[in-house]
Amino acid sequence: VVGNAQWQERKDAAMARGEGNLAPIFIDRAEGSEVWDVEGKRYLDFGTGIAVVNTGHLHPKVKSAVAKQLDHLSHSCIMITPYASAVELAERLNTLAPGDTPKKTMFVTTGAEAVENAIKIARSHTGRRGIVAFDGGYHGRTMMTLGLTGKVAPYKTRFGPFPGEIYRAPYPIAGHGISDEASLKALDTLFRTDLDPADCAAMILEPVQGEGGFYPAPTAWLRRLREICDEHGIVLIADEVQTGFGRTGKMFASEYAGIEPDLMTMAKGMAGGFPIAGVVGKAAIMDAVDPGGLGGTYAGSPIGCAAALAVLDVLEEEGLVERAQAIGARFGTALEGVQRQYPHLIGDIRADRGAMIALELVRDGSMAKPNAALLKAVLAECHKRGLIILACGMYGNVIRFLPALTISDEQIDEGLGIFGEAFAAAAG
Ligand code: PMP
């Protein structure tokens, strides 16, 4: 057989370096929380393709919904001759989105496109230009979303200039010495020095920062942002691309703060591995754009809609939103055990946002001393032992766990057992 090493060699020769891969593991097939590589080796999957297969790989209901859809229609283009499933999906998302204000939905294909369109809608609604984004935020790889993204390497390196009228404020992370007050003060200064709030169209934030390091937005801070946006007529956009669809133990992470965003972007977990994304928001804002101003050839494809409807059914039928909280608790307890053994290497455990769990690796027990070298070693040891885990964080020192919400307790314990051994091997 042609193994992982040969495929990696061929990939390096055939595919652009920029589209790099975390692990030299070539996946052949997957089921639930398990994947198998081209050499037949089994792995537990604590990464779900970056928070995508929340319902597990190839959930039977999602698979059969897609198979059934393939007997009817794969494409007709939503902007030409639409189909019922898109309407049904929009109706369900409008109901699920937090808050009582009537909602509307528009579909696209990827998370970055959803963010692009949320900005377009906010500008069209307000007639304003300025957009405020936050340090450490991640919103995608297109030019506008790169401009919004608050981390240079590797995302933005040598890709500028980015679109103008993007302003940045600090995201509050208590563990890194940035209080809610400091963030709000900086925002106030921004509004006095650079951007007239009357010319600010939108603020965009992740209710739990994803790529930036799995930092939940403090409730009081998010509520205050909601008030500031209301005071100035600014559109508040919650980027729920990574946090949506039960991942954090709520259907959407904005619910933790009890706020109603004006617009929400969603993708990833929405359709269990089939590409579809959307913007859901207050109807009056969503309808600011004239017909023809939004769309895309593959926007809300029939396959994506069928998969997404099945995912919503599965989340509900299997109680997966609540299950995410139990998963977080189980990880939290086990990871505290690892921290007790290595208090100088683990600065923080974040396990209170469902199945969006992180471990921040440090030196000398200090959050000011990120330990990216240890992270690299732990990842390699895990992958070697048959456990897929991912990394994130401004300093490349945060391990992130994104298990499927369908994972069993036995699989969690097996994976955490492997993790403990891998950590010990890496810590030396
Ligand atoms: N926003 C957030 C919060 C994300 O986590 C991501 C993807 N990691 C994106 C936007 C971009 O989504 P996509 O890769 O589907 O374009």
Between CA 370 and CA 383 the distance in angstroms is 22
Q: Which residues contact 204 (CB under 8 A, 6 or more apart)?
A: 115, 118, 119, 131, 132, 133, 134, 137, 139, 148, 237, 239
Q: What angle do CA 98, 101, 107 make, to 5 degrees?
A: 70
Q: Which amino acid is at 64?
A: S
Q: Which residues contact 320 (CB under 8 A, 6 or more apart)?
A: 54, 55, 246, 314, 405, 406
Buried/exposed 262-294: b ≥16 CB within 10 Å, e otherwise:
bbbbbbbbbbbbbbbbbbbbbeebbebbeeeeb
pLDDT value for 321: 98
Between CA 77 and CA 82 the distance in angstroms is 6
- Ligand 1 first shell, C-beta below 6 A: 50, 110-112, 115, 138-140, 206, 210-211, 239, 241-242, 267
pLDDT value for 22: 96
One-character DSSP codes across 171-235: PPBGGGTB-HHHHHHHHHHHHHHT--GGGEEEEEE-SEETTTT-EEPPHHHHHHHHHHHHHHTPE
pLDDT value for 282: 99
Q: What pTM did the predictor assign?
A: 0.98
- Please state the atom number of ligand 1 nearest to the C-alpha of residue 110: 15
The predicted model gives 108-132 an average pLDDT of 98
**What is the per-residue pLDDT across 195-239, written as a single tens digit (0 to 9) for each?**
999 999 999 999 999 999 999 999 999 999 999 999 999 999 999
Side-chain half-sphere exposure of 1, counting CA atoms within 13 A: 10
- Token readout for 159 is 């890709």
Q: Which residues contact 155 (CB under 8 A, 6 or more apart)?
A: 138, 141, 146, 149
**What is the per-residue pLDDT across 235-259, written as a single tens digit (0 to 9) for each?**
999 999 999 999 999 999 999 999 9
**156: CA distance to ligand 1 center in Å?**
15
For 66, the enclosing helix (H) or strand (E) is helix 60-70
pLDDT value for 1: 75
**399: CA distance to ligand 1 center in Å?**
18
| Cis-peptide, bond into residue 170, ω within 30° of zero | no
- Token readout for 223 is 């509520």
Q: Which of 205, 263, 264, 268 maximizes ligand 1 atoms within 8 Å of its Cβ, making it the mutation to test the pocket?
A: 268
- Token readout for 99 is 């808050």
**What is the per-residue pLDDT across 350-398, written as a single tens digit (0 to 9) for each?**
999 999 999 999 999 999 999 999 999 999 999 999 999 999 999 999 9
Backbone angles phi, psi at 361, to 5 degrees: -95, 130
Residue 34, helix vs strand vs coil: strand
Residue/partner pairs of 175-178 with CB below 8 Å, 24 or more apart: 175/347, 175/348, 175/360, 175/367, 176/367, 176/368
Q: Do 416 and 389 meet the contact criterion of CB atoms below 8 Å apart?
A: no
Query: What domains, with CATH codes, occur in the chain?
Result: 4-55+319-427 (3.90.1150.10), 63-317 (3.40.640.10)
- Whole-angstrom distance between the N-terminal and C-terminal Cα of the chain? 34
Q: Do 306 and 68 meet the contact criterion of CB atoms below 8 Å apart?
A: yes
Q: Which of 241, 254, 265, 356 maximizes ligand 1 atoms within 8 Å of its Cβ, making it the mutation to test the pocket?
A: 241
Residue 276, helix vs strand vs coil: coil
Closest to 106 in 3D by CA, of 314, 306, 242, 296: 296
Q: Which of 54, 107, 139, 146 maximizes ligand 1 atoms within 8 Å of its Cβ, making it the mutation to test the pocket?
A: 139
